Structure 1
Amino acid sequence: MDIDFSAFHFLRPLWLLLIVPALLLPWAWLRRHDLKRQLKGLIAPHLIEPLLITPDDQQRLRPVHLLALLLGLGAVAAAGPTWTQDTPDFVDNRAPLILAIDLSPSMDADDVPPSRLSAAKHKLHDLIQRRAGARTALIAYAGGAHLVLPATEDPELLDTFLQALSTDLIGQAGKDVVGVIELARKLLDAEKMPGTLLLVTDGAAPEQFEEIPKRLSGSDLQVLVLAVGSQDGGVLLDAKGRPRITDDGQPLQATFDSQALKQLAQAADAPLGSLTLNDDDLDWITLHAQQHFQAVQGDEQQVHWKDAGYWLCWPLALIALFCVRRGWRVNWLGLLLIVMLSAPSQPARAGALADAFFTPDQQGRWAFEHGHFPQAAEHFHDPFWKGVAAYNAADYPAALASFARLDSALAHFYLGNIYVRLFKFPQAISAYQQALQKQADFPQAKANLALAQALLKDYEDQQEAGTPDEKADKVVEDQTPSQGGQQKQVSTPQAASDQLWLNNLTTSPAQFLKRKFMLQNAARQPAGGTQ
């Protein structure tokens, strides 16, 4: 365990005052057992020495010494020694990554079973779970590029929208990599840090090769190209996984242009990889992203110091065990233990033994570090870490209650994250803004504020695009991937409130994205095309 002594300090230094009585205890014991001092004034000084019989006691270690050691070492443990900063995972600045997935019709080919797009989504799902805690954004593109989600640390939210992607969401044909690069650069400008763009595609548009290097010039954006497909190509599938048939009754074939992919990688000065059955492609992506980030990264934000005092509980327990020795009189130590154990205690959490040696926060820390977040939330008394544990346990009401007691930048940041996960975007925006008022240099809060504002704008755009003569009830087509691609009709009231609209959004993210892309395309047309 390496200790940076320049950063070594105590979280609760007032506990160190207990070291004073720990040092005074042996002195007080020696003074109390000093026979010469006790006989002074009762017997003439010149007679004390001849009359005093001193027992030949070779024993140097006495109970009072162990008691003093227990008290002193316990004071150090309670003071919270620390030398390393402790940041929750999803505040960690690890290699920002922008995922751009091709939604052109050729991605429905079956040469990579069950289809190129399904295989790509499965691989990106694994990548998102591996990167839990790192900032990841999602872009979908075909003939136009569309932002699905700005950079977020929430893998579940990101995966929800990833699994909703399909080739029928974007009406324009093509492979607009230039538009993807423009969106990626805007995302990195908001992040104010370097990042990596991963293009997951089966081809490229040769007419863009000349423009791509110009759009990448002067940016900290690294591009990776992950090829999806085989040299033999495959049969195009429809939405139900059946082969598409040409007019003459033959299956419609999809090609795989490896030469175009090589030219795309060359134009973007990008490494070129391919989808694999194992995790080699994930290792390849992670390595390139981290190397690029480390080469040009800025300062990493640290937030909390890790309490290392609980490590001293083991030597304290060992010292207490040595106190139980035959022939030792430990009356006052026993009295002290009786008083401590008879004091009112909190409800049992991990057993009497754990309560005797560990504080609730120390038990919470142990549970948190071992991934037992619900138990950690029960143990913690510290409202910040109680909220973090409840957040990780997806107990959002408890997390909200804990963070609402705090008025720090990080507490408001967590509140914003919770509101986004609950699809309460106005509350999330307010929380992120309060976090930035407390701490102006907070890039994670700035990025998540942009995410919440973008999602709120999508909702407002849908409200503005709605026609006033819609029926009171409408049929929502559920295309959630967890339903295995099956469609089901769900009758819901027309969205007359924010909450109802949010309920519909969580039911069918695919419809939400399709409507969003349609509105974005409509807004781009007067400006003369795609980005």
Structure 2
Amino acid sequence: MEIDLSAFHFLRPWWLLAVPAALALLWLRRSEGSRLGWRSSISPALLPYLTVDAAGSAGPRPIHAVAALLILGGIAAAGPTWEQDRPPFLDNQAPLIVAVDLSPSMDANDVPPSRLEAVKHKLHDLLARRTGAKTGLIAYAGSAHLVLPPTDDPNLVDLFVQSLSTSLIAAPGRDVAGVITLAESVLQATQAGGTLLLATDGADTDQLAQVQQLAKGSDFQILILATGTAHGGVLHDARGQPRMDAQGKPLLGTFNTDAIKQLAQAARAPLGSLTVNEDDLDWVQLHAQRHFQEVQDAGQPMHWKDAGYWLCWPLGLLALLGLRRGWNVNWTAGLLLAWMTGVYPSTANAGPVADAFFTPDQQGRWAYEHHDFAGAAAAFQDPYWKGRAAYDAGDYRAALAAFARLDTPEAYFYLGNTQARLRNYDAALASYDHALRMRSPFPEAVQNRALVAKLQAAIESEQTGQNSDKPDEVAYDNKKGAGKMGDVAVAKASSADVWLRNLSLSPAGFLKQKFAIEDAKKAAAPAGGPRP
């Protein structure tokens, strides 16, 4: 660790008065306890016979330990510092909105298995990295649509990312201007310093002037992640079969490098490309975090990082000397403490040493901050954090049992999230309603309730469509004397099978219905009117 001596100073310099106080204490003790201090009261002839110099008395004494404690404690309390840091109460994670291009060319297989599937795989890995950070999702082609506002639930975002397909938006084109407008309206409600990531394989050059104007007035940065290769690749349909043109030749996906470069220049956006390793993820995180910190540094006063806590270790060793009787220093306790700190496990597994120094909730917090959510759920005794850890670990049954023990708006909010993950949508809506009754306003609960309500409506709509299908078979009695009605036994799928089939299609079906409704509203809006 390098120390910038030019920036070295103390945050609370008045505590340095403890240093001369300790030196004065040593001087006073020396003059009082030495033979020179007794000569004014005892005859010099008797002084050698009345003072005892025991073996080892010339070594360190308790007064020396007290002086060392005062000196180190004064320096630690004075707050030595040489490095600036953001205050710990601010969120260090940059908000991010991902906009995924759903144009038909994203089905090209030049990036296996397809461009869109490769982007979805990358976003899955990116969400795993951004635990605790807010991430939103936009889908666009000829129109732009908000799928999810920024949320800190990566599982929810990944659920809708994996349901994206090029068949969800009927309007052709690439409405990047609509994406920027939509992202700006969403990021206004979040912390400043957000980033918009465009995952695309092309651009509409007719929109470049509008994109340049929108990007110039926005306070967030734009990143472009290009996916595709120069030779394009064969387009496939939903069944995985190659798409053919009128002459029976396979259709190839386009990849216009010049158009993407022009888009990046108009949007003043760094341009990256999809890679087989994690270099693209590092690139996204680096730019997002750097922009976020620049915005925060400009709007928030910087704080100096207090390095005095490093002196707590020698202070603890010196404090052990107060447990010994006598004049000499016993180093056994100090060596024992050093050994215990050296063998303390870095994981949160409970053991005799961990149990002796840390409570179960402290051990659970350690595991949670190191992303060991299963270990944290096992260690936590606090029901709220036990539920949070179980929810992040994907153990929704355990999370449900933990949140059910609490009667707070936050607990009912996560109870609704858990019920939604378990597909108990009625129970989820009831939990959100309970949270809103206990705390208002509660924007996160309002957003999640609206999302679950729309998802439930989409599932019910699909079930209604399934139940209104035409009969599989119509039988007529052509025999003489016909005219009597009879039932024909036809094999039908069980209600559980229908429910499971609808459930597996519900995210994509919900998005397709949502996008169609929004496009219909835009088409019905008067020309030049405000964007919905």
TM-score normalised by the shorter chain: which range applies? Answer: 0.5 to 0.7
- Of 496, 507, 510, the residue aligned with 1:509 is 507
Q: Is the CA contact 1:226–1:273 (under 8 Å) kept in the aligned structure 2?
A: yes
In structure 2, how many angstroms separate the alpha carbons of the residues matched to 1:263 and 1:238? 30
Q: Extract unaligned runs of 5+ from structure 2.
A: 14-45, 71-78, 329-348, 421-427, 471-492
Instruction: Measure, in 1, the Cα distance between the counterparts of 2:200 and 2:282.
Output: 18
Work out the number of aligned pairs and report it: 460
Alignment of 1:14-25 (within 5 A): none
2:109 maps to 1:110:
yes
Equivalences for 1:212-361 in 2 at 5 Å?
212-297=211-296, 350-361=350-361
Match of 2:431?
427
Partner of 2:413: 416
Q: Is the 8 A contact 1:63 1:323 kept in 2?
A: no
**What aligned pairs does 1:22-61 form with structure 2 within 5 A after superposition?**
57=54, 59=57
Structure-1 separation of matches of 2:370 and 2:124: 24
Whether the aligned pair in 1 keeps the contact of 2:234 and 2:252 (CA below 8 Å) is yes
Note if contact 2:62-2:321 (Cα within 8 Å) is conserved in structure 1.
no
Change (3 A) 1:471 1:318: farther
After TM superposition, the score normalised by the length of structure 1 is 0.65
1:241 CA drift (Å): 2.4
Name the counterpart of 1:523: 521
Task: Tell me whether 131-140 or 308-317 shows the greater mean CA deviation.
Answer: 308-317
Report the AA paired with residue 286 of structure 1: Q
Shift of 1:494: 8.2
Query: What is the distance in 1 between the residues matched to 2:350 and 2:64?
Result: 27
* Deviation (angstroms), 1:53: 8.1
- The 5 Å alignment of 1:457-468 reads 458-459=454-455, 462=458
Distance 2:61 2:400 in 1: 46
1:152 touches 1:451 (CA, 8 Å); kept in 2? no
CA separation of 1:320/1:449 partners in 2, compared to 1, >3 Å: closer, same or farther?
same
Shift of 1:234: 1.5
**What residue in structure 1 maps to residue 331 of structure 2?**
none
- Amino acid of the structure 2 residue aligned with 1:519: I
Are 1:199 and 1:226, in contact at CA under 8 Å, matched by a contact in 2?
yes
Which SS does the other structure have where 1:150 is aligned? strand
Identity of aligned residues (%): 46
1:219 to partner: Cα distance: 1.9
Q: Deviations over 1:80-113 (max 9, x none)?
A: x9x999979xx83522111111111111111122
Q: Greater shift after overlay, 179-188 or 278-287? A: 278-287
Per-residue deviation, 1:399 = 7.6
Residues 330-479 of structure 1: pairs in structure 2 closer than 5 A: 350-380=350-380, 386=386, 388-395=388-395, 397-398=398-399, 401=402, 405=406, 412-413=409-410, 416-417=413-414, 419-423=416-420, 424-425=428-429, 427-428=431-432, 431=435, 446=443, 448-449=444-445, 451-456=447-452, 458-459=454-455, 462=458, 471=467
SS in structure 2 of the partner of residue 137 of structure 1: strand
Q: Which runs of 5+ in 1 are unaligned?
A: 9-48, 73-80, 329-348, 438-444, 475-488
1:150 deviation in Å?
0.8
Task: Give RMSD over aligned pairs.
Answer: 5.9
Do the aligned partners of residues 5 and 398 (structure 1) sit closer, same or farther apart at CA in structure 2, a change above 3 Å counting? farther
The residue that corresponds to 2:199 in the other structure is: 200
- Greater gyration radius: 2
Query: TM (normalized to structure 2)?
Result: 0.65
Shift in CA distance, 238/467, structure 1 to aligned 2, threshold 3 Å: closer
Query: How far does residue 516 in structure 1 lie from its aligned partner after superposition?
Result: 2.0
1:138–1:151 Cα contact (<8 Å) kept: yes
